[in-house]
Amino acid sequence: MKQFLFFSLLFITTITNAQINLIKNGGFENELINWRGEEMASLSSYIKKTGKNSAMINQFVGAEWKALDQTIYIPKNTYAVECSVWMKSDGIEEQKENYKSGEMIAEFTNSSDKQLFSEPVAQIKGTTDWVNYKKTFKITADVKKLRIMLALAQTNGTVFFDDVQVIALTEEEYFKLNPIITVAEGQKIKQFSNGNFEENLSSWNGFGLISTDSKEGNTAAEIISETAEWRSIDQLAEINDGDKTIEISGWLKAKNIIQGKDPWNTGLLFIKFEKDDTTQASEDQVIGTITGNTDWILFKKSFPIPKTATKYRIMIAMSVCTGTLLADDIQVKLSN
């Protein structure tokens, strides 16, 4: 009897600790059940990433909006949600507007279904093999629901979706994915990581995308701005005691970036030195700026670390301009 109780408790604990996919039928094993807009899509049993089916949306003329969607409730005590999908494209036409692509979009709403914000998790064009996209969003107190849209957004071609997942993360789980590393001296130092974006946007905050148009490896970060507004991703890391200089390098690429009103309204890579959570230790320091249409360009700069600085923030931004900014292989070297 005791042995039975032990295994029962072990089974319950395992279920409790397992991360549950909030999306129903995300692998399309039950055809298109639980998804709205099923008339816009079909199933493919031949082209799939896992299981027996994928969802397919295609059109050859008209370039209309065609999408599936599913709305889910955010569980209580959720600190962040991790959204992921496998996508494959076949002949998706390039349009003037970057958002016209195969897309997975996350739309967050309050209890009255008012949209709070909406961001792409993934965008895909041309012809590609299966690519896994993943993006994590922190949840604010007013967010109650999440609508996931799988779309062929006003362009022609074919897009495939499979293994759609939304995982609710506690604060502890979130920081396991973005760890604070304990060093020998007993200090807790959050180190810079994932500068090559091979782990998607893990460790980065803000609203960016993952692109297969990379300088090194398989993926790069992509920031798209259709209107002249601030859009960025950033990563905060801590400075070791005794460090006196910092060298930052990174590759940037511009696609039709049109400079805004001021000279600094461009694609940017820069660093902020911070004294604490509310006070900067110095003015922002620019590592590189980029406009127009370019190939990959390497930028590298070294800076003395301000004496009062305890943290630094690497920022990649579209600074009130329009176009697309790509970034890859961001490296940070601290020295004393």
pLDDT tens digits, one per residue of 262-286: 888 999 999 999 988 788 888 899 9
User: Among 106, 137, 171, where does a domain finish?
Assistant: 171
pLDDT, mean over the chain: 87
52 and 163: one domain?
A: yes
Give the model confidence (pLDDT) of 105-151 as tens digits: 999 999 898 988 888 888 888 898 998 888 888 888 899 999 999 99
**Is 12 a domain residue?**
no
Average pLDDT rounded to a whole number, residues 167-174: 90
Task: Classify strands 157-169 and 209-211 as parallel, antiparallel or unpaired.
Answer: unpaired
Residue 140: what pLDDT?
Answer: 86
208 and 235: one domain?
A: yes
Q: The domain that contains 296 carries what CATH number?
A: 2.60.120.260
**Is 1 a domain residue?**
no
192 and 119: one domain?
A: no
Residue 15: what pLDDT?
Answer: 37
Return the exposure string of 195-229: e unless at least 16 CB atoms fall within 10 Å of the residue's CB, then b: bbbbebbbbbbbbbbbbeebbeeebbbbbbbeebe
16 pLDDT band, cuts 50/70/90, is: very low
23 and 152: one domain?
A: yes
Between CA 240 and CA 196, with CA 283 as vertex, the angle to 5 degrees is: 55
Give the model confidence (pLDDT) of 283-326 as tens digits: 899 999 999 999 999 999 999 999 999 999 999 999 999 999 99
Residue 7: what pLDDT?
Answer: 43
Q: How far apart are CA 1 and CA 330, in angstroms?
A: 58
Residue 13: what pLDDT?
Answer: 38
In the predicted structure, residue 208 carries a pLDDT above the cut 90: no
**Is 179 a domain residue?**
no
Number of domains the chain contains: 2
SS3 189: strand
SS3 216: coil
Q: pTM (2 decimals)?
A: 0.59
Q: Which residue range(s) make up the domain with 272? A: 184-335
Report how far apart, in Å, the C-alpha atoms of 249 and of each of 26, 51, 246, 298, 329 are.
Answer: 39, 42, 10, 7, 8
**Both tokens of residue 197?**
């974006």
